[in-house]
Chains A and B, each alone.
Chain A
Amino acid sequence: MKIRDEIKFILNGRDITLNAFKAEQTLLEFLRIDQQLVGTKEGCAEGDCGACTVLVGRLVNGGLKYEIVNACIRFLASLDGCHVVTIEYLSGSNGDLHPVQKAMVECHASQCGFCTPGFVMSLYSLWMENPNPSKRDVEISVQGNLCRCTGYEPIINAALSVNKFGNPTFDQLNTERENIINKLSRLQDDARVEIGDDNNKAILPANIDDLAQILEDRPNSTIVAGATDVGLWVTKFLKPISPVLFIGQLTDLKKIEVNDDMLTFGAGVTYTEIQDYLSKFFPFLENYWDRIAGWQVRNMGTIGGNIANGSPIGDTPPILIALNSDIILRKGNQIRILPIEKYFIEYGKQDLQKSEFILGIRVPLQSNNQLNSAYKISKRREDDISTLAVGISMNIENGLIKDCRIAFGGMAATPKRALVTEGSLKGKTWCYEAINEASKMLNEDFSPLSDWRATKEYRMTVARNLLNRFFLEHDLEIIEPIQLHAGF
């Protein structure tokens, strides 16, 4: 096994090689303090406000894909082999403004200006992918950017007008694309990367076998995939996380496969990477997916990580439980398959052995008789953590509820099935009365807590209402089912 003791990446137009830095050093610290690139701002330091938005380009199937990320919670070590693009790279060498910047100026889209560099980066990414966006496309592209004084209207107007100021074909990231691909390809060497001494160590395993081996040798390692949760352990709780195993770069963990009746994907697959598959095989999740954080987080965060951290309010576990998914675990050379609901034992405790890690997730494809919905309730429509979330899946045959699975997040100390409610529904006629009666059973399944997101009474009432909403949206008797598009 070849071991490399430095990371290499491209920062704007420069090659960077680093061999000594803290395992938990963030990209934002590196940019602002080490490199004095202070155009990228620190707002919340938790991946929420988007003031620190930068582009990270990486090789994907031989091509080069640029995505916006939050530099504040992106760890420096995870940039090995990437191209980092900051606000400083946008203006031409003669000081000419970039088309996105011109549009922002012309549309009066800045006031205090603090969030502006982040917005420019998000709109830059949008313009490169989609030069003629709809208003909805723009709104989704800036879900992860908060502005508290200018107002979103001029920013959206700017986004809609960027194409008047330039064509992305002539943008430097496109004209230099081949050159960057060649440079990044030369950096790929299939080596394990180890930075630092035993007190402070960052490791990028070479492949999955190597990851399994390192976890055997160092069972107390912190595994970091997208860092959208672990990043906060560092920036908010100042928690030491060394030794850190970075797995986001492992292409073996990013495989997505569809066979006859299963969608199987690796633990390193991000929300963005799975999106097309979900639209195709689980179209009911399309709207739900836009409710998960913002683009910056969806580009980094993984579904594997969302499960692994065991949070009771993760966005995906209730849905995956309702869809009867399994997780695939690996320890050494041993593989273990576990129904995902069994993984969550109690608050802070999961069914994960020493040196074991989540390898992948498999979700059964749906039959024609199956009705599915996913709902998320949060204080803010975009870019927020759920107050409660629910996945509901019912199998209706000949007007009867043959089977059903209902799983809630935010109603207990773990993501949890409503087994009593499910039991009371099985065999019943699919009708409003049956669903409404069953929704009253939810208090036998759950005793939710009051916290600053919601009171226990609110949680219970909303949970019942969501079950009724499920009926109204799916009622087969109604010729045009009611589609409730309200944000909350």
Chain B
Amino acid sequence: MQDFERISMENVKKISGRIHSNHIHDSATKHVTGLAKYCDDITEPVGTLHAYLGVSEVAHANIKKY
């Protein structure tokens, strides 16, 4: 499994500037280049299982068989 990048709050760039000064969206460059990754953009490993919610048709019941 891929290690997720750990983010330490000390390393996060401090917000600078004053009120009423515009800041560029921190993902703007990724958005305009198409490099921003959305769920559907991440390649599925072969054999990925998909799960779906099966919602009960009654509010309160005992499962007798499945």
Q: Which A residues form the contact surface with B (CB < 8 A)?
A: 32, 36, 38-42, 86-88, 90-91, 97, 100-101, 104-106, 108, 110-111, 113-114, 116-117, 120
Alpha-carbon separation in the docked complex, A41 to B32 (Å): 12
21 contacts between A and B (CB under 8 A): A38-B34, A38-B40, A39-B33, A86-B34, A88-B33, A90-B33, A91-B33, A101-B32, A104-B32, A105-B28, A105-B29, A108-B28, A111-B25, A113-B25, A113-B28, A113-B30, A113-B31, A114-B38, A117-B32, A117-B34, A120-B34
A97 and B31 contacting across the interface, CB-CB below 8 Å? no
How far in angstroms is the closest Cβ of chain A from B13?
17
Q: Which A residues touch B38, using CB under 8 A?
A: 41, 114
How far in angstroms is the closest Cβ of chain B from A35?
12
Q: Which B residues form the contact surface with A (CB < 8 A)?
A: 22, 24-25, 27-38, 40-41, 43
A116 and B32 contacting across the interface, CB-CB below 8 Å? yes
B29 and A113 contacting across the interface, CB-CB below 8 Å? no
A88 and B40 contacting across the interface, CB-CB below 8 Å? no
Most chain A C-beta atoms within 10 Å of own C-beta, residue among B25, B27, B40? B25
How far in angstroms is the closest Cβ of chain B from A112?
8
A97 and B34 contacting across the interface, CB-CB below 8 Å? no
How far in angstroms is the closest Cβ of chain B from A298?
24
Name the one of A36, A40, A86, A97 contacting B32, with C-beta atoms under 8 angstroms. Answer: A97
A113 and B36 contacting across the interface, CB-CB below 8 Å? yes
Alpha-carbon separation in the docked complex, A38 to B37 (Å): 8
Q: Which A residues touch B37, using CB under 8 A?
A: 38
B24 and A105 contacting across the interface, CB-CB below 8 Å? yes
Q: Which B residues touch A116, using CB under 8 A?
A: 31-32
A105-B28, A110-B25 given; 19 more Cβ-contact pairs under 8 Å = A38-B34, A38-B40, A39-B33, A86-B34, A87-B33, A87-B34, A90-B33, A101-B33, A104-B28, A105-B24, A105-B29, A105-B32, A108-B24, A108-B28, A116-B31, A116-B32, A117-B31, A117-B34, A120-B34
How far in angstroms is the closest Cβ of chain B from A118?
10
* Top 9 A-B residue pairs of the complex, sorted by shortest distance between their CB atoms: A39-B34, A113-B31, A87-B34, A38-B41, A101-B32, A110-B31, A117-B34, A116-B31, A105-B28
Q: Which A residues touch B35, using CB under 8 A?
A: 39
Alpha-carbon separation in the docked complex, A1 to B46 (Å): 44
A108 and B34 contacting across the interface, CB-CB below 8 Å? no
Alpha-carbon separation in the docked complex, A114 to B36 (Å): 8
Alpha-carbon separation in the docked complex, A86 to B33 (Å): 10
Alpha-carbon separation in the docked complex, A80 to B35 (Å): 27
A108 and B22 contacting across the interface, CB-CB below 8 Å? yes
Alpha-carbon separation in the docked complex, A105 to B35 (Å): 14
How far in angstroms is the closest Cβ of chain A from B26?
11
Q: Which B residues touch A120, using CB under 8 A?
A: 32, 34
Q: Which residue of B lies closest to A113 (CB)?
A: B31
How far in angstroms is the closest Cβ of chain B from A95?
9
How far in angstroms is the closest Cβ of chain A from B19?
16
Q: Which B residues touch A110, using CB under 8 A?
A: 25, 27-28, 31-32
Q: Which A residues touch B36, using CB under 8 A?
A: 113
Q: Which B residues touch A36, using CB under 8 A?
A: 43
Alpha-carbon separation in the docked complex, A40 to B36 (Å): 11
How far in angstroms is the closest Cβ of chain B from A155?
11
Q: Which B residues touch A90, using CB under 8 A?
A: 33
B25 and A108 contacting across the interface, CB-CB below 8 Å? yes
Q: Which A residues touch B41, using CB under 8 A?
A: 32, 38
A97 and B29 contacting across the interface, CB-CB below 8 Å? yes
Q: Which B residues touch A91, using CB under 8 A?
A: 33
Most chain A C-beta atoms within 10 Å of own C-beta, residue among B29, B31, B40? B31
